[in-house]
Amino acid sequence: MKHPTTRLTALILGSCAAIALLAALAGCGSDSNSSAGDGATKTVKVATLRQPHLFAPDFYARFAPPGVKVEVIPLENSTEIKSAVVTGSADFGVTGITSALQGAAQGEPFRVLASAADGGSAIVAGKARNISTVADLRGKKIGYVPGSAQDILLRLTLRAKGIDADKDVTLVKVGFSDMANAVGRGDIDAFSGAETGPSDALVAGKAVLVTHPYDTEMAKINIVLGTSQKMIDEDPELVQMIVDTHAKATDYMIANKAQWAAAVVKKYSFAKESLDMAIENIELRWSVDDAYTQQAAVLGAQLKAVKQIRKEPDYTAFFNRTFVDKVQVEGGEAK
């Protein structure tokens, strides 16, 4: 027979355990539309860039289920994001499709789960350069980032006007962040850039808009959500949860542009006037359909043509639409 003190101790310990369990359950019972608190049991790392069209992960916390904490990791470029996902330093990444495609062409197991944003590109020219149309770019110095989506859009846009990007213009390597200053200084006559670079130049009065280069077979595809094949194999439930969360966050940003813009300005100190202009040139989306994958194939073919990749990837493996096809929608929005 147990000693009374032993029984009392057991009762006390049992009561403490029950209280602790109730407290934990109470903590997990928070609103699913708010971020996970101290009781979070799962941290999901999502890599992205400090740009308005890659900002969806900052809204994931609103829609992640209880018990999940989303850690947003801003990196310097899309290549870093793709590499972080492939190596496991990040669980998911919102990144440029061009970098992801280049990695896939080398056999890297990066998989596109959903779209994130279309557009976000523009060709602008310096003032007083007598450039107002694409045809006027012939013979000019044009800033670009080799192998970027904006590089391919520029080439396709010039080709449509009978201009050979390798013979009829001078392409000058310029980082996206320096393009507005470069055209303002006169180092280049024009550039094919990513937001907010074009808007920065326009708002500063340094440039004029030549075109938004979307009238090609590549159209507007630009930013995607992806993960590794390993993540898909090992935790498909987590992948589905993140895709669902991404869809909800994206729909929220579409419906609440002012909140989206304000959040970007607050976190990354963008100039409000420039950002407001840039957002009008960005088309958020999360869906992936046959037309989208066909546009990606156009991009892949062009990357091969300019020797950015040796061969095109297996697009059926590169795109995994299993999870995005399961997102439930109501009234056109994810629910």
Q: Could you tell me if residue 20 is inside a domain? A: no
Domain identity same for 84 and 159: no
Is the pLDDT reported for residue 31 higher than 60? no
Domain identity same for 109 and 198: no
- Per-residue pLDDT tens digits for 204-235: 999 999 999 999 999 999 999 999 999 999 99
Is the pLDDT reported for residue 34 higher than 90? no
Which CATH number fits the domain that encloses residue 195? 3.40.190.10
pLDDT category of residue 9 using cuts at 50, 70 and 90: very low
Domain boundary among 211, 234, 259: 211
Instruction: Return d(Cα 142, Cα 123) in angstroms, integer.
Output: 9
What contacts 24+ positions apart, CB below 8 Å, involve 161-168? Answer: 161/134, 161/135, 163/134, 163/135, 163/137, 163/138, 168/138, 168/139
Check: CB of residue 58 under 8 Å from CB of residue 227: no
From 12-16, 56-60, 142-146, 178-182, the region with the lowest mean pLDDT:
12-16
Domain boundary among 211, 236, 266: 211
Expressed as residue numbers, the domain containing 275 is 42-119+220-334
Share of the chain above pLDDT 70, in %: 88
- Per-residue pLDDT tens digits for 271-320: 999 999 999 999 999 999 999 999 999 999 999 999 999 999 999 999 99
Is the pLDDT reported for residue 63 higher than 80? yes
Q: Could you tell me if residue 181 is inside a domain? A: yes
pLDDT of residue 39: 55
Q: Could you tell me if residue 13 is inside a domain? A: no
Q: Could you tell me if residue 74 is inside a domain? A: yes
- At 180, the amino acid letter reads A
Burial 246-270 (b: 16+ CB within 10 A, else e): bbbbbbbbeeeeeebbebbbeebeb
Is the pLDDT reported for residue 83 higher than 50? yes
CA distances (Å), 31 to each of 1, 36, 56, 299, in order?
A: 48, 9, 20, 42
Q: Could you tell me if residue 321 is inside a domain? A: yes
pLDDT of residue 164: 97
Domain identity same for 111 and 225: yes
pLDDT of residue 333: 86
Provide the domain count of the chain. Answer: 2
Instruction: Return d(Cα 74, Cα 127) in angstroms, integer.
Output: 34
Is the pLDDT reported for residue 28 higher than 50? no
